Amino acid sequence: MNIEYTEEKFREGQVLLINKPLEWTSFDVVNKIRLSLKRYLGIKKIKVGHAGTLDPLATGLVIVCTGKATKQIDQFLGMDKQYIADVRLGATTPSFDLETEPDKFFDWEHINQEMLDETISNFTGEIEQVPPMFSALKVKGQKLYELARKGKEIELKARKITISDLKLLEWNGQDLKMDVSCSKGTYIRSLARDIGFELNSGAHLSGLIRTRIGQYQLSDSISIEDFEKNLAIFATK
């Protein structure tokens, strides 16, 4: 990724590939970049936006656009994505990940390689998926996670999504590691939950890394720390 650390280039518009840290929201990343540009380049006002939310408990690729490049955000939102997902069998959580504590426990010792292979093949292609209550989707103007944290439940409709590729990378007792390529609108947390139920057990997402958005790769990204460090160096030249 080629970044030119000048006020002119950031205003003209740059597409930044950022490796989001654990427990940061996508908005935290945007705010940090905006504040860094103001601090080191003396920019009073500049547009900065991200092209697709990544959950706080996930790490990996977030595309951030500055200046006039924010007009491109919609085209990034529609791109397919790739993830490395860690799934824990034997328990479900209300959020489908580690944001909440397990609420139900299930047997998992009956699961074997043949069951895993068959289940994974069932989740490849176009499927229907119900999004999690703990999500940023809105119902009547309210975000679902806000309702969920108040203990409210809403019956959500399934939506069609596409899993173009799903590979089992590792299997160690209760823990699975999968490589997932999917369409816009896919919730990997929901995929983990559904796989657990398909295996006559339960499951939740225990870790997630986004490795690709369209043709953009995590391997080409930069950390927030390095971005700020480079910005400071160029600002003093």
In the block, residue with structure tokens 């908005």: 27
Set 55, 86, 97, 194: catalytic member = 55
Mark whether 179 is an active-site residue.
Answer: no
∠ CA 201-87-145, rounded to 5°: 90
Q: Which neighbouring-strand residues pair with 162?
A: 126
Backbone φ and ψ for 144, nearest 5 degrees, come out as -60, -40
Place of tokens 């939950």: 193
Give the integer Cα–Cα distance in Å for 171 and 116. 9
- Active site (catalytic) residues: 55
